[in-house]
Chain A
Amino acid sequence: MTRLFARHRILLPILSLAVLLAATFYMQPRAMSYFGVNLLFNLAVPIALATVAQMMIIMVNDIDLSLGAFVSLVACVTATFLHDTPVLGVLILAGLIAAYAGLGVLIHRFELPAIVVTLGMSFVWGGLALSILPSPGGTAPPWIRSLMTVKPPLVPMAVVAAVLIAAVTHFLIIRTGIGTVLRGVGGNAASVARAGWPVLRLKALAYALAGLFGVLAGMALVGLTTSADANIALRYTLLSIAGVILGGGEFIGGKVSPVGAVIGALTLALAASFLSFLRLSPDWQIGAQGAILILVLTARLIFTRRDEQEG
């Protein structure tokens, strides 16, 4: 049993999500419907995209403390430039992805601690966002709005999107050759370099992918909220880190799971809904989220430790 969990690391995140979902349906049977499920997971789509972005960085043994500010900035750009002057908007977003690649180069080239550089970048992104939208406002481009509120038959949009994100990133990171090499950078950068790979460019690529998914997260968020403000996604930094870890990822060693990351993001989004159904006093909602996080990580620890003992 514990072997099974250790070998298939994805099982534990799935189980956590299933248990939480069952508990939610038990508390609130009316949620067990097309609209109910959509409501539960609606906000999970941008969180899942942000979590995948964070995963790209964690994959190469770094961490991004600026992701929340970055997603907020993207949201502001989307609600203003992309709406008013689409061409300029696309150019700005492309520039932001390039900036992320540059960040990867900077960190690798000067051997800088990613935690500090991204911390500094969070000020930069936040400042830019504030300059664009000093007060909440802007409008979501209609096409994003309709994309995020589309109602596919049988399965709600949020679920379809989550499956799609998981499938695409799984293919990209786990199945393709370049994804394998990127994970190799996290696992043993020295041996990847010895095999003749340009590690600097690989790092830039990982960061660019993070930028790309960060941009998608910001656009998805604006599609849901219809307007933006400079602080709209600040909590995504911590949510995305927690999502990666919940999904079975580890901070070092290139051990990441895209499917797990998406499930981790869904779990975090669901936890918020679950707690509100629980009629828990609002005072304790945040704390309960922390407790759930600790609980899941404890469960994981128990399984991995057992596995180590069984050898």
Chain B
Amino acid sequence: MSSAKATGTPLVALTDAEKHFGAVRALDGVSLSIFPGECIGLVGHNGAGKSTLVNLVNGGLTPSAGEVNFPATGAPRALEAGVRSVFQELSLCPNLTVAENLRISHADLTGFGWRTRARAEILKSLDTVFPDHGIDPNITVDRLTIAERQMVEIAIGFAPRGTQARLVILDEPTSSLDAAIAEQLLAHIRQFCAGGGAVLFISHMMGEIFDVASTIVVMKDGKIVASRPTAEFTRASLVEAMGHVAGPEAEKAATSRPAFGADILNSKTGLTASEGEVVGLAGLAGHGQAEALAQLYFEHTSSWRAGKGSNMVFVAGDRGRDGILPLWSILRNATVSILPQIARRGIVDRAAETRIAAEWKARIGIRTADVTNNILSLSGGNQQKVLFARALASKAPVVVMDDPMRGVDVGTKQDVYAMIRSEAAKGRTFLWYSTETDEVCQCDRVFVFRDEAISAELTGADITEDRILEASFEMQGVDA
């Protein structure tokens, strides 16, 4: 275990910590100590429990069972113990300036001339972490780019803020930074840890983890399944520890590129698709894939007219924001897109509606006793199935999917893969953005996005994890 190597009293110690959300055990008995000078790389698939663990450490959640202590400082709460979090979702106040945002997390910054001191502090921190950042501390945050906001947030995380940052939690900090800036951050993490600080580093970029972490902690299904010094891992052994879902690549080679129908789509951004084709959108998260899909959908559908059948349907991945209608039953959620098709003179045919909902409940396997139950009574994976049913029940020839497998269990995924294949065989076209490379590798054609533009188009045997990664990263850092 990592504790063998580390010295001193742990900054934070979790003992048999559990966290339940209803019936879901998001964290299932985790013990972990973080010592000064350590950089822990936390890895695991989506839904492995990483965010829950982080939220227990930073005090965002209280454990359902077990304990969270801060032995080094003896502080009762994470905030006083010098635990800082930089979140994946941006948590700055967009209406305030950079310096004012520091003020929010630094309550002691009071009295005459606090602005000057705030400016000095944030500038110093920015200069330390990101030399040559070029960010004006007097500018309001909503005028910064996403990358600049991320940099400010990281700088606030490392800023002294009256006390001293002891443990900084970085949740996917490099997701919107380019390679050169990310490298600056990694260098700073090494320096920070050498100076006695600790970092909990979450990233899906393996290279970064191997680069910076002293210890790697692997999570799966709410448990820690491996925790060893980085040197004892290889890429292969790490991937194995996480429980890689392998296989489809071999299957892929067998089904060589079949002949597709006519081109059905040709967007301004350069996306093309043929009838019956499954087109993947790949690249690092946040490089414009979701926006490209949403824009494509908005261009091909109207806010003013709804015909008997639209030519495109959308499957949301961010269910809360883009998909679920939370006040409604499963049935109404499933049929909302096909109402014009089953209505007579504007009145919904409720018998037909019930029939279609029952049919899809059976076909896609929605686990519920009654489709008139509220949609939120379903688990996340089943909610996602309802959104698939909503789209597939329509007659639209093009189905747009915006990373729809987030938080979906493996079983459901396999069901849906099979359904997509069979629908494609019937001539439907799928546009599929996914953050998981093995999903993209199942597509017939793949567009790789980088910096809001297509950086590569791959077909057939060219669709491999390596080629996709290459196109996601290529040239990055060269011009910097």
Contacts and interface: CB of A to CB of B under 8 A. Distances in A.
Contact of A187 (B85, B96, B107, B110): B96
B91 A194 contact: yes
Contact of B104 (A7, A175, A181, A255): A181
B318 to A, nearest CB: 17
Interface in A179-221: 180-181, 183-184, 186-188, 190-192, 194-197
Given A180-B104, A254-B96, 12 more contacts: A177-B109, A177-B110, A177-B114, A183-B93, A183-B95, A184-B93, A184-B101, A188-B94, A191-B104, A192-B93, A194-B91, A255-B95
15 contacts: A180-B96, A180-B103, A181-B103, A181-B104, A183-B93, A183-B95, A184-B100, A184-B104, A188-B93, A191-B92, A191-B93, A194-B60, A194-B91, A195-B105, A254-B95
Q: Which of B93, B100, B109 counts the most chain A CB atoms within 10 A?
A: B93
B95 A186 contact: yes
A195 B104 contact: yes
B79 A196 contact: yes
A89 interface: no
Nearest to A185: B93
A254 B100 CA distance: 13
Contacts of B93: 183-184, 187-188, 191-192, 254
Contacts of A184: 93, 95-96, 100-101, 104
Contacts of B105: 195
A7 to B, nearest CB: 8
A253 B94 contact: yes
Contacts of B85: 194
A192 B104 contact: yes
B188 interface: no
Interface of A: 7, 175, 177, 180-181, 183-184, 186-188, 190-192, 194-197, 253-255
Contacts of B94: 187-188, 253
Highest count of chain A CB atoms <10 Å: which of B96, B103, B109: B96
A100 B397 CA distance: 57
Given A177-B109, A196-B79, A183 B91 contact: no
Q: Is the interface of A mostly helix, strand, loop or mixed?
A: helix
A191 B114 CA distance: 21
Nearest to B110: A177
A253 B94 CA distance: 8
Contacts of B92: 188, 191
Q: Which of B105, B110, B114 has most chain A Cβ within 10 Å?
A: B105
Contacts of B101: 184
B413 interface: no
B115 interface: yes
Interface in B58-98: 60, 79, 85, 91-96
A173 to B, nearest CB: 12
Residue of B96, B104, B109 ringed by the most chain A CB atoms within 10 A: B104
A196 B79 CA distance: 8
Given A194-B60, A196-B107, A197-B107, A180 B100 contact: yes
B95 to A, nearest CB: 4
A182 B395 CA distance: 51
Interface in B97-129: 100-101, 103-105, 107, 109-110, 114-115
Nearest to B101: A184
B80 to A, nearest CB: 9
Nearest to B108: A177
A179 to B, nearest CB: 10
A248 to B, nearest CB: 12
Contacts of A188: 91-94
The 4 closest A-B pairs by CB, nearest first: A187-B93, A187-B95, A191-B91, A195-B105
Contacts of B143: 7
B67 to A, nearest CB: 21
A181 B95 CA distance: 11
Contacts of A255: 95
Contacts of B100: 180, 183-184
Contact of A195 (B96, B107, B110, B114): B107
A135 B109 CA distance: 52
Contacts of B79: 196
Interface in B130-166: 143
Nearest to A181: B104
B110 A183 contact: no
A181 to B, nearest CB: 6
A72 to B, nearest CB: 32
Contacts of B104: 180-181, 184, 191-192, 195, 197
A123 B85 CA distance: 46
Contact of A177 (B60, B95, B103): B103
B103 A175 contact: no
A197 B100 CA distance: 15
A59 to B, nearest CB: 9
A253 B95 contact: yes
A186 B140 CA distance: 14
Contacts of B60: 194
B91 A175 contact: no
B104 to A, nearest CB: 5
A143 B143 CA distance: 48
Interface string B255-276: 0000000000000000000000
B212 to A, nearest CB: 25
A122 B63 CA distance: 45
